[in-house]
Amino acid sequence: MIILGIETSCDETAAAVVTDEELPLENRVLGEVVLSQLEEHRAYGGVVPEVAARAHLQHVDHIVAQAMEKSGLQFKDLDAVAATGGPGLIGGVIVGVMTAKAIAAVHNLPFIAVNHLEGHALTVRLTHDVAFPYLLLLVSGGHCQFLAVEGVGKFKRLGTTIDDALGEAFDKTAKMLGLGYPGGPAVEETAKKGDPGRFKFPRPLQGRAGCDFSFSGLKAAVRRAIEQLPPGDIQENDIADICASFQAAAADALSNRLKNAIAMFKELYPEGSTLVVAGGVAANQYLRDRLEGAAQTHDLALVAPPLKLCTDNAAMIAWAGLEHHRLGKTDPLTFKPRPRWPLDPNAPKAVFAGAKA
């Protein structure tokens, strides 16, 4: 089976052709192109939805053409076309969905609307052939969740952020320190030169029951630390120490929440043996190393996609579409793009759970 995937939910315009043919896993992506909009948004310190949507509209056609050319295939060789149907910046999502619908209509192909989050969730089945069920930590600029992945389209949310996502906290920390956009990689690189013990930042929700997250207090603590430094005289070592201390606090918070998530997961799925970390923040090697240690302590294998497939890409959308198509799941051309699309629509609203242990 061969699927074309299109991703336009934020600030990458991407297309990829993926197969489930019996090939080495690294060869299943037949053609892939990702066009970043970093330069368009850098001056604003973050993604501007209107700018992103216009850029997608300008570039999506030739990005799809390049991906098809790299694959050596024609549209008639495809089994279906998939696109991110949400969640995301709705202007960009509309561009990708309409492009995919047009290709499907013209070439008489099935159309599949993919949940962007499920694209991240299933990427390890493209790259590592991970079996269901598995525990997923999904960490990005807009999402921070623990999910039990039971199967294609089957998710049980165990915990989520009650305020900010971790990726957003990384980006805001970078912005407050003048490190530019995107903030996550800048904070990680700067932290390598810093002292993680200098600033005593909080570990939000540590010791509480459940596995929900909170990062707004950590972000506020970073702002207060910056404000307490001599005005106009912040040194490079100050910035590095703040980054290192922030990153260490975030890792401690993740590890603490992970311990509870693993206990919940093992109670529900005793046969589960894998922890998957996915999303843009999963590219942070420091956090990966900390999570791997925590997973090993609890007899779980940590699996993460290759770094280039942690951030938004179309290979993950094509693969998720392929998994749905194998089960006979497609969508009508009347599908409406969705700015919000929870993986577990029945999950309760996140609240502070329990008392301190």
Query: What is the DSSP track for 9-37?
Result: SSSEEEEEEEE-SSS-GGG-EEEEEEEE-
| Fold entry, domain 132-304 | Nucleotidyltransferase; domain 5 (3.30.420)
Structure-model confidence comparison of residues 48 and 26, the more confident one:
48
Beta-carbon contacts of 113 under 8 Å, excluding residues fewer than 6 positions away, are 82, 83, 84, 85, 86, 97, 331, 335, 337
3-state secondary structure of 113: strand
Position 354 scores a pLDDT of: 42
The whole-number pLDDT of residue 352 equals 53
Of the candidate CATH numbers 3.30.230.70, 3.40.980.10, 3.30.420.40, 3.40.50.12280, the domain formed by 2-126+308-326 belongs to 3.30.420.40
Query: Considering only 94-103, 303-312, 317-326, which range has the smallest mean pLDDT?
Result: 303-312
Kindly report the backbone phi and psi dihedral angles of residue 30, in degrees, each rounded to the nearest multiple of 5, phi listed first. Answer: -85, -30
pLDDT > 80? residue 357: no
Read off the pLDDT band of 353 (50, 70, 90): very low
- CATH 3.30.420.40 placement within the chain: 2-126+308-326, 132-304
pLDDT tier, 22 (very low <50, low <70, confident <90, very high otherwise): confident
Percent of the chain at pLDDT > 90 equals 84
Average pLDDT along the chain: 93
> What is the DSSP secondary structure assignment for residue 124, as one 8-state letter?
H
| DSSP E strands, the chain | 2-7, 12-19, 29-36, 80-86, 111-115, 134-139, 144-151, 154-160, 274-278, 301-303
Q: How many percent of the chain have pLDDT more than 70?
A: 98
Separation between Cα atoms, residue 28 and residue 318, nearest integer Å: 11
Report the alpha-carbon distance of residue 200 to residue 306 in Å, rounded. Answer: 33
The one-letter amino acid code at 96 reads: G
- Given a cut of 90, is residue 23 above it in pLDDT? no
Which two three-digit tokens encode residue 179?
Answer: 């490190």
Q: Mean pLDDT across the stretch 174-182?
A: 90
